[in-house]
Amino acid sequence: MRSLLLPALVVCSCLAQTVPDNTSSTSTAAPAVPPPPKEVVVVTGTFEPIPLEEADRSVDVFTVSGERLLFNSFADYLRMDSSVDMQERGPNTIQSDVSIRGGTFGQTLVLLDGMSINDAQSGHHNMDLPLPLDAVSELQILNGSGSAEYGSDAIGGVINILTRQPSEEPELRLRGGIGNFGTNEESGSLSFGDDKLSEQLFGARDFSDGFMPDRDYRDLDFTSISHAKTRLGFTDLLLTLSDRPFGANDFYGDYPSWERTKGWFASVRQELGPNTEADFAFRRHTDLYVLFRDDPEIYTNHHYLESYEGALRRKDTLPIGQLHYGAEYYEESIDSNNLGIHARNHEALYASWDTRALRRFSFSLGVRDDVYDGLSNQVSPTASAGYWINSKFKARASASRAFRLPSYTDLYYSDPSDLGNPNLKPETSWNYEGGVDYFVGRRFKASATMFQRRDRNLIDYVLNPQTNIYQATNFDHLVFTGFEGSAEFRLRENEAISVGYTGLIGDRGDIGDVISKYVFNYPINNAVVGWQGTIRPWLVGRTYVGALDRYARNPYALWDASLARPNGRVRPFLQLTNITDTIYQEVLGVPMPRRGVIGGMEIVMPLAK
């Protein structure tokens, strides 16, 4: 069981004060509103577990542990949110960038069980996740800034990856699959224990010859999740590691490159009674980059990064609402032949007050202060409110400030075509949004949100036409305005159709016609349609169509589909990607695979307790 204090990482068995009750009496002054469906989930962006329908921010939640055989990678889930832009350089999230609401890849904060795994070397590694998909229970996406809860990098949004809870039944799972491009996928998991002490082990090994020269890859992941119940409360221990060598042809220019990243992550969470929690996390990440794969002596970079994170968090129930507060400490260092040897640390204090009133109103107010050694502190306030107009409609609004520190690459990197800038200022941003949610029982729900993000000192690489070098630069002022809408119609209990659309307009202000690398690469239109359901008692399926129109690029569409057996000891599956054989590039200059097929089976073996 996860604790009740970690921001956006809480599991609840009940929350009576936030879940409306059909049998309650109504007040004459303010009649109670019949409740929406009581779908209680963990919500990223809040400090307390609430029903998703009660969230005053735009949040998406994807359950991973359900029909796992229908999905092949983290990107398959993230693409179902039309506000998320996946910019992959290869399949299976091999060296992928992710952005939310048109932000840059460095403006998206990625959390693992609520602890930051963003990379201080380069935001390109933020999706270099150190665990297999089988070890994950949920993916939660907060669209919009989240620095008041989580600190640096949460300008465009937050992706929170939640690992699996202890398994109810001990079991062993083995899975294997093969496909075109020499693809071979192997994975396994083992879970055992009881409600006082349990252990889960996950391992995965994926490799491919590549769909073109120098685009081969090998992916090795291992994860251990330990859970114990003591007199102090629950203790959770997470250990993960990954090793990913891959051909990087054209990844960062017209070079036959090669790269290898390794990741280690460890975290421990300890409850100290019902209202207090202590957390600690360690991350180590290495990056070996070779410009010419067959001749490493020409140009090679090797980076070693370490980071530590500790937190003490507490909640108190007040006469009106709840107060959440705590303190955090961060330390990160890098040792690199290109970037040099650097270190920085900071402390943070935060407090948040949340209240629900008259079964109609919700209001949250919070502030966080991050104090950096040698830098000015960053204060991040946030406020959000919601109002149930009637039993079907809810209006909500929020405003928040966010910031991002320059990465070590932004500050110090140097090669023949790119140059860092040690004088860069931190990025800051204000995010405003307002929306309405509509619910009809459990069969239909829809959401519409208007948002605006005002960025200051945004960091990008701008081309100097005289030297033909891209240099890291602060853009003074940029404004992004957009709309996101989504709807889900449940045809049956186990069958649903979902649609989503996000449109975005960027105001360049007085920047002019400069040539930059990342900022003006956002989707101006992104639409997704998905179906998932049971075809027969022994067969489930999923299909997805996404159409993306990127700024100053040609639009393209992708179609994926998959089938699997959801039960029994032997569970075959088939996954089809890019069925229409579309020729496309998510990152300019980096071709993506054509039509792909992977088929295999999973064997499930229950173990006696």
- Residues 493-541 have pLDDT tens digits of 889 999 999 999 998 776 777 888 888 889 999 999 999 999 999 999 9
> What are the residues whose beta carbons fall under 8 Å from the beta carbon of 524, sequence distance 6 or more?
503, 504, 505, 549, 550, 551
Look at 476 and 265; give whichever has higher pLDDT: 265
Say whether 561 sits in a helix, a strand or coil. Answer: strand
Cα-Cα end-to-end distance for the chain: 20
Q: Work out the average pLDDT over 285-312.
A: 96
Q: Work out the average pLDDT over 438-452.
A: 93
pLDDT digits (tens, 9 = 90+) for 565-576: 999 999 999 999
- The reported pLDDT for the residue numbered 357 is 83
Lowest-pLDDT range, 7-11, 93-97, 107-111, 266-270? 7-11
DSSP letter for 233, please. Answer: -
% of the chain exceeding 90 in pLDDT = 76
- The reported pLDDT for the residue numbered 7 is 38
41 pLDDT band, cuts 50/70/90, is low
pLDDT digits (tens, 9 = 90+) for 354-401: 998 877 999 999 999 999 987 779 999 999 999 999 989 999 999 999
Residue 3 has pLDDT above 70, yes or no: no
Residue 17 has pLDDT above 80, yes or no: no
Which pTM value belongs to this model?
Answer: 0.91
Q: Work out the average pLDDT over 69-75.
A: 94
Residue 31 has pLDDT above 50, yes or no: no
Q: Work out the average pLDDT over 451-479.
A: 93
- The reported pLDDT for the residue numbered 32 is 40
Lowest-pLDDT range, 40-54, 86-100, 325-339, 485-499? 40-54
- The reported pLDDT for the residue numbered 413 is 94
Nearest to 218 by CA among 130, 94, 124, 76: 94
Look at 230 and 508; give whichever has higher pLDDT: 230
Q: What fold is seen in the domain 40-606?
A: Maltoporin; Chain A (2.40.170)
Residue 548 has pLDDT above 90, yes or no: yes
Residue 118 has pLDDT above 90, yes or no: yes
Residue 15 has pLDDT above 50, yes or no: no
DSSP string of 385-421?
EEEE-SSSEEEEEEEEEEEEPPPHHHHH-B-SSEE--
Label residues 5-18 b or e (16+ Cβ within 10 Å = b): bbbbbbebeebeeb
Q: Give the residues across from 269 on adjacent strands.
A: 236, 279
Neighbours of 544 (CB within 10 A): 21
Highest mean pLDDT: which range of 142-151, 188-197, 542-551: 542-551
Residue 148 has pLDDT above 80, yes or no: yes
Look at 260 and 508; give whichever has higher pLDDT: 260
Question: CA-CA distance, 170 to 190, in Å (whole number)?
Answer: 8
- The reported pLDDT for the residue numbered 220 is 97
- For residue 389, the one-letter residue type is I
Nearest to 236 by CA among 246, 222, 226: 226
Nearest to 60 by CA among 40, 81, 39: 81
Question: CA-CA distance, 464 to 414, in Å (whole number)?
Answer: 15
> What are the residues whose beta carbons fall under 8 Å from the beta carbon of 15, sequence distance 6 or more?
40, 48, 49, 50, 51
14 pLDDT band, cuts 50/70/90, is very low
DSSP letter for 250, please. Answer: T
- The reported pLDDT for the residue numbered 298 is 93
Nearest to 588 by CA among 253, 289, 260: 253
Look up tokens 């083995």; give the residue. Answer: 174
- For residue 489, the one-letter residue type is F
Residue 330 has pLDDT above 60, yes or no: yes
Q: Work out the average pLDDT over 54-81.
A: 90
Backbone angles phi, psi at 400, to 5 degrees: -160, 155
441 pLDDT band, cuts 50/70/90, is confident
Residue 10 has pLDDT above 80, yes or no: no
- The reported pLDDT for the residue numbered 16 is 31
- The reported pLDDT for the residue numbered 373 is 81
pLDDT digits (tens, 9 = 90+) for 177-212: 999 999 999 999 999 998 889 999 999 999 999 999
Q: Work out the average pLDDT over 463-479.
A: 92
Question: CA-CA distance, 226 to 164, in Å (whole number)?
Answer: 10
Look up tokens 């930051």; give the residue. Answer: 116
Give the 3-state secondary structure of 67-86: CHHHCCCHHHHHCCCCCEEE
Q: In what order do the strands lie in the sheet with 108-112?
A: 58-63, 136-143, 157-163, 108-112, 115-116
39 pLDDT band, cuts 50/70/90, is low
Torsion angle, alpha carbons of 124, 130, 133, 134, to 10:
180
Question: CA-CA distance, 569 to 252, in Å (whole number)?
Answer: 45
Q: Mean pLDDT for the chain?
A: 89
Cα 38 vs. chain centroid, distance in angstroms? 25
